[in-house]
Amino acid sequence: MKRIGITLRTCQALGYQEARDGLARDWYRFLQQMDWGWDWVLLPNLGAQSVAYAQAQHIEGLILSGGEDLGSDPLRDESELALLKHAIMQRLPVLGVCRGMQLIQRSSGGKLVVEGGEHHVSTRHTVSLCRGLPWRGVNEELHLEANSYHANRIPLPLPTGLWALAIDADGYCEAFLHQSMKLAGIMWHPEREVLSNEFDRQLCRWLFQ
């Protein structure tokens, strides 16, 4: 059985200084709902050593989870960048969620709009889906209601090699795919939905089939 690695966010202990790695328990429910035949492994923030750890765990796919903004924890940034570069070199499937999508955007030479997006935090909004999805057997709806917990936004045009999958009402990219490998990003959090939607299920199955 193949194994997929999921990165961890930074947590702080209450009442004293102790940096910790953590993952919302919502992820466990989401990964079980996917039922894609993969085992999953938590990937601690080890800096450059994260790649060796992932290799020792026989990771064949990668989820870059959400959480704090890029730059708030240099160790996490270093860990996830190393894992992303390794996955690209080995052509492993990658899904970036919110912060993870922003990491892919930045590492591809793209920009983030960091001001004016406060209205996107802790809300729901509609995104417009682009036609011509690369998977079969799914109705191509024109719109999707998505949750939103981010203020940073991804402007168009995207860096070379990335193709927009979903656009919000303000014209910012909410989901993208790489044009030649199984690398995708979504700005919403699929794990925070009680029941995953068809778009997220099809995207994940296409990535990690």
Q: Whose CA is closest to 6, among 19, 161, 125, 34?
A: 34
For residue range 80-137, what is the model confidence (pLDDT) as tens digits?
Answer: 999 999 999 999 999 999 999 999 999 999 999 987 666 667 888 899 988 667 765 4
CB atoms within 10 A of CB 191: 22
Q: Name the average pLDDT for the chain.
A: 90
Domains in the chain (CATH in brackets) are 3-208 (3.40.50.880)
Q: Residue-wise over 123-134: b if at least 16 C-beta within 10 A, else e?
A: eebebebeeebe
pLDDT of res. 133: 73
pLDDT band at residue 196 under the 50/70/90 scheme: confident
Residue % of the chain over a pLDDT of 70: 93
Record the pTM.
0.93
For residue range 50-80, what is the model confidence (pLDDT) as tens digits?
Answer: 999 999 999 999 999 999 999 999 999 999 9
Residue % of the chain over a pLDDT of 90: 67
